[in-house]
Amino acid sequence: MNIIIFGPPGSGKGTQAELIEKEFNLRHISTGDLIRNEISKESKLGKEMKEIIAKGELVPSEIISRMLVEKLSTEKINNLFDGFPRTLMQAKFLDVVLNIDLVLNIEVSKELLEERITKRWYCSCGASYHEIYKKPKKKGFCDICGKKLFQREDDTKETLKNRLEIYESQLKPLRDYYKMKMIKINGEQEIEKVFSDIKFLLSNFEKLKNQIN
Ligand code: AMP
């Protein structure tokens, strides 16, 4: 089973991807993570990509495709794509390499995204918190390691507006491309409820396939 997950920044896509990966034994492939990993190596390619993503632009498709093929060629297993495809070209490329079974599209209103994103706090150990939904025990400090929490520079109302516009413009052609395979997920619910909806879909996948085709 090969799945794609779409969702705007703040939709909880990353959290759901982690849960799906564990429950359904899929390999989670996030192109954003692959890029950040290359950047952290401080390689020539990493430095080039750092500049591109800082501008909010897309990394050239041939670089992404190369990184992806490298990842896919390690083992033949089921995959969950996150952050890929972002263009029609990438979607067509993916169709040549393998068969996509299902496309999950997590939807959340702009207002709620704003509330979620601007109140997010992070710790350098990888933990994350929220002023309303997941408060740390001691305000401003990590429950796990005690370090001071920080906010991401791009987690502001203004940047979110821009990120959402980019996200929508990238998703529009893909929505058409995948219309027979795309299923809307209500991302405004509690994390557990969103996951139980996804779990229902994935575990009834075969039955569902007959319905949508
Ligand atoms: P993400 O973590 O998915 O939000 O990705 C972070 C950044 O990496 C994006 O804003 C793009 O600059 C770049 N990126 C991630 N995936 C792709 C992709 N499939 N094609 C081109 N650029 C990408």
Mean pLDDT of 39-49: 90
Which one is catalytic: 92, 110, 135, 152? 152
Could you tell me the pLDDT band of residue 16, with boundaries at 50, 70 and 90?
Answer: very high
Distance from the alpha carbon of residue 66 to the mean position of ligand 1, in angstroms: 14
- Whether 163 is a known active-site residue: answer yes
- The verdict on the CB of residue 79 being under 6 Å from ligand 1 is no
**Other beta carbons less than 10 A from residue 90's beta carbon:** 20
What CATH class has 3-26+78-110+156-212? alpha beta
pLDDT tens-digit profile of 179-190?
989 999 999 998
Distance from the alpha carbon of residue 169 to the mean position of ligand 1, in angstroms: 14
Closest CA to 53 of 166, 173, 172, 168: 166
What's the sign of the alpha-carbon dihedral 156, 162, 168, 170? Answer: negative
At residue 108, the pLDDT reads: 96
- The verdict on the CB of residue 31 being under 6 Å from ligand 1 is yes
At residue 1, the pLDDT reads: 87
Range among 31-35, 65-69, 80-84, 94-98 rated most confident: 80-84
Distance in angstroms (rounded) separating the CA atoms of residues 131 and 118: 9
Mean pLDDT of 117-137: 90
CA nearest ligand 1 atom 1, residue? 32
Distance in angstroms (rounded) separating the CA atoms of residues 5 and 206: 18
Could you tell me the pLDDT band of residue 176, with boundaries at 50, 70 and 90?
Answer: very high
- Whether 120 is a known active-site residue: answer yes
At residue 211, the pLDDT reads: 67
At residue 213, the pLDDT reads: 54
Phi, psi dihedrals of residue 104, rounded to the nearest 5°: -95, 135
Provide the 3-class DSSP secondary structure of residue 161. helix
Indicate if the pLDDT at residue 212 is higher than 70: no
Mean pLDDT of 31-53: 89
Helix axes 88-97, 61-72, angle to 10 degrees: 20
Distance in angstroms (rounded) separating the CA atoms of residues 80 and 22: 11
Indicate if the pLDDT at residue 76 is higher than 90: no
Indicate if the pLDDT at residue 208 is higher than 60: yes
Distance from the alpha carbon of residue 30 to the mean position of ligand 1, in angstroms: 9
DSSP per position, 24-69: HT-EEEEHHHHHHHHHHTT-HHHHHHHHHHHTTPPPPHHHHHHHHH
Q: What is the mean pLDDT of the chain?
A: 90
Mean pLDDT of 1-18: 92
Mean pLDDT check: name the lowest of 46-50, 113-117, 156-160: 156-160
- The verdict on the CB of residue 166 being under 6 Å from ligand 1 is no
- Whether 36 is a known active-site residue: answer no
Distance from the alpha carbon of residue 29 to the mean position of ligand 1, in angstroms: 12
Q: Could you tell me how many residues make up the chain? A: 213
Which one is catalytic: 55, 110, 119, 120? 120
For the chain, the domains span 3-26+78-110+156-212
CB 83 within 8 A of CB 170: no
- The verdict on the CB of residue 174 being under 6 Å from ligand 1 is no
- The verdict on the CB of residue 90 being under 6 Å from ligand 1 is yes
Indicate if the pLDDT at residue 86 is higher than 90: yes
Mean pLDDT of 126-131: 89
Q: Give the containing element (helix H, strand E) for 203.
A: helix 191-203
CA nearest ligand 1 atom 2, residue? 32
Which one is catalytic: 86, 161, 193, 207? 86
pLDDT tens-digit profile of 109-124?
999 999 888 998 999 9
Distance in angstroms (rounded) separating the CA atoms of residues 177 and 91: 8
Q: Is the pTM of this model over 0.75?
A: yes
